[in-house]
């Protein structure tokens, strides 16, 4: 979905910085690409770029946990069972939402399997972003690893808006139009 939004934003004539983890997609050639491979790298890269932007769209499925310790050498097998201690990663969307004097429009995503609207509304409130794009990922042919999607857009002010099931390319171009309109209205 992120790459489709980048393409749609480029087509609409915007300058785009794409901060991306490893994916099986070719990066759009007209976007400035910042490649990252860990949640900490993504956190730092986003914070370096965000204040240069009019709109920040955070749609990466960032890991919620990371290993507490990283071994510099191969871990030898010993006992039958092995447990890894995991600790929480930093929430990038939340950190931007609570940044003082934020000037850019902040958009987050919520991939949910149940109580989609309620969970997305809670995210909008808790992470203090301007917009949350919610998608139901409980069905196999919508959302993750699918070319189609169906989303509900929740705003801090105003009624939710639904975009019915359509190819991600179409959804992306609708989203870009909505984000641009709101950004221009707020300026």
Rounded-to-integer distance, Cα 182 and Cα 12, Å: 15
Q: How far is the CB of 82 from ligand C5P (least distance, A)?
A: 25
Q: Which residue's CB is nearer to ligand C5P, number 136 or number 187?
A: 136
Tell which residue, 92, 16, 20, has the closest CA to residue 54: 16
Q: How many residues touch ligand C5P (CB under 6 A)?
A: 14
User: Minimum CB separation from ligand C5P for residue 41, in Å?
Assistant: 12
Rg of the chain over CA atoms, in angstroms?
18
**C-alpha angle with apex 97: 93 to 99, nearest 5 degrees?**
115
Q: How far apart are CA 175 and CA 178, in angstroms?
A: 5
119: which strand partners?
none
Is the CB of residue 172 less than 8 Å from the CB of residue 5?
Answer: yes
Among 3, 4, 20, 39, binds ligand C5P (CB under 6 A): 39
In the shown chain, the binding pattern of residues 115 to 144 toward ligand C5P, with x for contact by CB under 6 A and - for none, equals: --------x---------------------
Using CB under 6 A, which of 92, 124, 151, 153 touches ligand C5P? Answer: 92
Stretch that binds ligand C5P, among 26-34, 66-74, 85-93, 179-187 (CB under 6 A): 85-93
Q: Could you list the residues that contact ligand C5P (CB under 6 A)?
A: 39, 58-60, 62, 64, 89, 91-93, 108-110, 123
């Amino acid at each position: 979905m992120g790459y489709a939004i980048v393409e749609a934003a480029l087509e609409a004539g915007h300058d785009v910085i794409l901060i991306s983890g490893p994916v099986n997609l070719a990066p759009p050639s007209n976007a400035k690409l910042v490649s990252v491979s860990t949640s900490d790298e993504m956190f730092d890269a986003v914070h370096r770029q965000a204040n240069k932007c009019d709109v920040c769209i955070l749609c990466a499925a960032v890991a919620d946990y990371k290993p507490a310790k990283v071994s510099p050498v191969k871990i030898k097998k010993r006992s039958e069972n092995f447990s890894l201690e995991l600790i929480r990663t930093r929430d990038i969307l939340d950190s931007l939402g609570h940044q003082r004097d934020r000037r850019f429009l902040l958009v987050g995503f919520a991939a949910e399997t149940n109580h989609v609207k309620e969970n997305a509304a809670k995210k909008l409130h808790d992470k203090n972003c301007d917009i949350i794009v919610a998608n139901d990922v409980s069905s196999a042919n919508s959302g993750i690893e699918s070319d189609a999607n169906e989303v509900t857009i929740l705003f801090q002010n105003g009624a939710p808006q639904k975009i019915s099931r359509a190819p991600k390319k179409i959804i992306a171009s609708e989203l870009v139009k909505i984000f641009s309109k709101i950004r221009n209205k707020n300026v």
